[in-house]
Amino acid sequence: MNIRNAVKCLVFAGMTFAGGAVAVQAAENGNTQYSPGSAQFYAGGIPPYPGFYFLSQTSYYSADRTNDSNGDKIPINFKVDAFTETMRFLYVSDLEVGGGQLFGQVILPFVHLDLTTPGGSDKSFALADLVTTVGLSWHVDPKNSFTLGLDVAMPTGSYDSNDIANVGLNHWSFQPVAGYHYKDPQGFELGATARLIFNTRNNDTDYKSGTEFVFDYAVGWNFDAHWRVGAVGYYLQQLTDDTGPTAAADGHRGKGFSIGPSLTYTINPGQELSASWQPDIVSENRAQGNMFWVNFATKF
């Protein structure tokens, strides 16, 4: 596999998007520490060459409705706009464990959040919760790879329980992830990751968000050495109830599904630029809106 293909499969299998306020999901105040759909074609594999890699993900999320458990719009004054710059620093080592290549990652998300709710409006710009990743990748052959990883999201982001807009969530989460990636450089490509999100309690509010399952996917076609088109999205299902003094009686379990187009251009053998649009098709106990991504990947 050459450097071009290494960058094209710069897939962060254990990768999360911290800055949960952007996703506006079921959980405390509608926040979570992973943004479903952020994996896109960077799903299910890791570059086989040891070294340092960098991925910049610039995103914009907008929604003016939030839905109940049946997916119907709740008639309240609600609007969220969030611009996020997420910087991912990945190191692929030459160490092997069980035949898998050891890798690690640090994720730094900076979020500008503008939020309006029935309780008022607020804005915030700050570093959101930092995420670290450790994992293993197996390259079965030039087209097939598997990954196992663990993301740990830390309560490092700006947080005040009296504020409406918080980019930090004031709790930890532990997220085991499994991924698969298939790539034909002149044809079909498929990437997928499945993760569980185990949240700890917010000690300031005594609120504990329920466990979530997220499946990210990407399906596309490589026309030549430069262009790829496809579809990307996610499926989310909250598996356990939220608990705490302000938790809804029904547990406030979220559910969501999104699918949208993606376009990728390989600038040179070591750099790639991609963009995608992911509208929320199904949203229960969640906001329903649109997410836009522009990604830039490179190898140091």
pLDDT at 20: 37
Write down the pLDDT at residue 56: 97
Q: Residue 3 — φ and ψ, nearest 5°?
A: -65, -35
Sort strands 144-153 and 131-139 into parallel, antiparallel or unpaired: antiparallel
| pLDDT value for 27 | 57
Q: Are 194 and 214 contacting, i.e. CB atoms less than 8 angstroms apart?
A: yes
- Mean per-residue pLDDT of the chain: 89
Within a 10 A sphere around the Cβ of 96, how many other Cβ atoms? 11
Render 255-268 in DSSP notation, one character per residue: EEEEEEEEEEEEEE
Domain boundaries, position 154: 3-299
Poorest-confidence range of 18-27, 96-105, 108-117, 234-243? 18-27
Tens-place pLDDT, residues 154-183:
999 989 988 888 899 999 999 999 999 999
Arithmetic mean of pLDDT, 263-285: 93
Number of domains the chain contains: 1
pLDDT of residue 11 exceeding 80, the answer is no
pLDDT, position 161: 87
The CATH number of the domain holding residue 120 is 2.40.128.130
Is the pLDDT reported for residue 1 higher than 70? Answer: no
- Is pLDDT at 29 greater than 80 in this prediction? no
Closest CA to 125 of 108, 117, 107, 113: 113
d(CA 226, CA 266): 5
Task: Pick the range with the lowest mean pLDDT from 24-33, 69-78, 231-240.
Answer: 24-33
Contacts of residue 249, Cβ cutoff 8 Å, sequence gap at least 6? none
| DSSP characters over the chain | --HHHHHHT---TT-----GGGT--SSGGG--S--TT--TTS-S---SS-EEEEEEEEEEEEEEEEB-TTSPBP-S--EEEEEEEEEEEEEEEEEEETTEEEEEEEEEEEEEEEEEETTEEEEEEEE---EEEEEEEEE-SSSEEEEEEEEEE-S-S---TT-S--S--SS-EEEEEEEEEEE-TTSEEEEEEEEEEEE-EETTTTEEPPPEEEEEEEEEEE-SSSEEEEEEEEEEEE-S--BSTT--TT----EEEEEEEEEEEEEETTEEEEEEEEEEEEEESSEEEEEEEEEEEEE-
* Closest to 135 measured CA to CA, from 237, 17, 47, 19: 47
Q: CA-to-CA distance for 289 and 283, rounded, in angstroms?
A: 9
Tell me the pLDDT tens digit for each residue of 68-118: 999 999 999 999 999 999 999 999 999 999 999 999 999 999 999 999 999
What local confidence, expressed as pLDDT, does residue 225 receive?
85
Residue 22's pLDDT band (boundaries 50, 70, 90)?
very low
Between 24-28, 54-58, 215-219, 277-281, the lowest mean confidence (pLDDT) is in 24-28
CA-to-CA dists, residue 147 to 37, 38, 131, 300, angstroms: 17, 17, 18, 22
Rg of the chain in Å (alpha carbons): 18
- Is the pLDDT assigned to residue 31 strictly greater than 70? no
